[in-house]
Structure 1
């Protein structure tokens, strides 16, 4: 596969696009960028048109304006799809990207073909909320990499960290190089918007997959089940022995789950349109 070259939309969003077929958009987590999806781009691009982009305040995309909320992050994705002339896409959001994917599903339902939320948050407990608010305060005081060591310990297994020191160092560098204000604006949303329009989630009427890892301490299996219960017909999956960064640590496992879901979603779509295989 030819390595895609980053391009920009008129509004400045940096993105990669490769492959042919039904469009699939990948949204990274807070502090990361579109490069986290390398394993998924390789695994999905033979069957789908795969689009990965940098969220506002991350990578090569512009900083969000002061006070930007989740609707602004959803609007960024809508502008990207408009630029690419994509009328509908499957949206796959990881962690903070899962919140953006949910917001997009609520604000732009006509642009949504299917929805995948990976390792994301919903209905935090008081203890979980206090912990993420404390990390937000640390980031505000000390910068984007204030919690890097603790984050990496939550995100990856010890074995993976030991076997892939160069990759772990690169991710640590990505965290440290974030624009402080862009990172903080995004992290504050990540910390506070887990219940964003929760009562409206029942309006989502597309095939939906909610998944996390068995050992994801911040985006727990219980959160996954609760979120799936809010969306009609949503499937919930908990991958055994996986931590938060399972798309990076176990790309083949995650890709197989995604390909199974995407195939199922395509079958449902074709049935709805009266298409016989």
Structure 2
């Protein structure tokens, strides 16, 4: 999918972020923040659906896709990066709907208290994400909750091992860990190619950040209208995270729990995710502009 245009946003520490802008320049803006081991390619369905009548801004997180790695990996860096993208793509005072998946949702939570984020955010969609206790709550390892499961999960998700080529076995593993049992083979293949393209060192560095994550304060500071989506079969960020976030959000629009779906909700339920973004734009940006 060719971008309408590409640009570079420079973060606070000098990291050069790859940014794509799809759709008409005068259309309402949507900003998409992808998750751990992914890239702008993860949002292909949303870009395709929304770019006809929205200005869709997607960027590669540091070390992912076409953004080079940085020695700095932290939630503050994620927040800096999102602020840099907003500054580079939106006019002063212009407000967008921001959708974050997994680590992209954590990026939103990390930035929630920042002035530039508040200036530019009309509403948020959080997809398949969490604010804390990611390793302890994960059900990737099919054991009862406890110290053994947590230890095994930390070592699996934080492995330094290369993922290797996208083989049938690799796709079965990825499907089990990240997608619902009914996921179509072409979607599993697409997600596997995106995830396997992430450099091993980048995957490992960010796994450490995620294992130590505590963004509960960011949930309380996210004061814009926020919708939450999660798959009932999500093993990486199970529904307990979505419910905990929703209970703490100042302005929660509700939790949508998708039966049988896994962690990759924008890929597994593309029409629903795109539709929810579209509804947020209509309600919280266009309605206010016309008032």
TM-score relative to the length of structure 1: 0.83
Greater helix fraction, Structure 1 or Structure 2: 1
Alignment counterpart, residue 137 of structure 1, candidates 155, 158, 164: 158
How much has 1:161 moved relative to structure 2?
A: 4.1
Matched residues in 1 for 2:21 and 2:48: separation? 12
Which of 118, 122, 127 matches 1:113? 122
Cα distance in 2 for residues equivalent to 1:254 and 1:200: 23
What's 2:133 paired with?
124
Question: Is the aligned partner of 1:63 residue 2:82?
Answer: no
Partner of 1:9: 9
* Distance in 2 (alpha carbons) for counterparts of 1:29 and 1:8: 19
Aligned mates of 1:238, 1:186 — CA distance in 2: 27
User: Between Structure 1 and Structure 2, how many residues are aligned?
Assistant: 264
Instruction: Kindly indicate whether residue 266 of structure 2 is the aligned counterpart of residue 260 of structure 1.
Output: no
2: CA distance, partners of 1:54 / 1:265? 26
- Distance in 1, matches of 2:108 and 2:273, equals 18
Deviation at 1:216, TM superposition (A): 1.4
Task: Please tell me whether residue 228 in structure 1 is matched to residue 234 in structure 2.
Answer: no
Post-superposition shift, 1:210? 1.4
1:130-209 pair list within 5 angstroms: 130-138=151-159, 140=160, 142-143=161-162, 149-162=172-185, 164=186, 167-193=187-213, 195-196=214-215, 198-209=216-227
CA contact (8 A) 1:214 1:241 kept: yes
**CA shift in 2, pair 1:116/1:127, >3 Å:** closer
Does residue 215 in structure 1 map to residue 251 in structure 2? no
Question: 2:78 pairs with 73, 77, 81, which one?
Answer: 73
Query: Contact 1:136–1:188 (CA<8 Å) still a contact in 2?
Result: no
| Pick aligned residue for 1:90 from 93, 97, 101 | 97
Match of 1:237 in 2: 256
In structure 1, the gaps of 5 or more residues are none
Q: What is the Cα-based RMSD across aligned positions, in Å? A: 2.7
Cα deviation for residue 145 of structure 1 reads 5.6
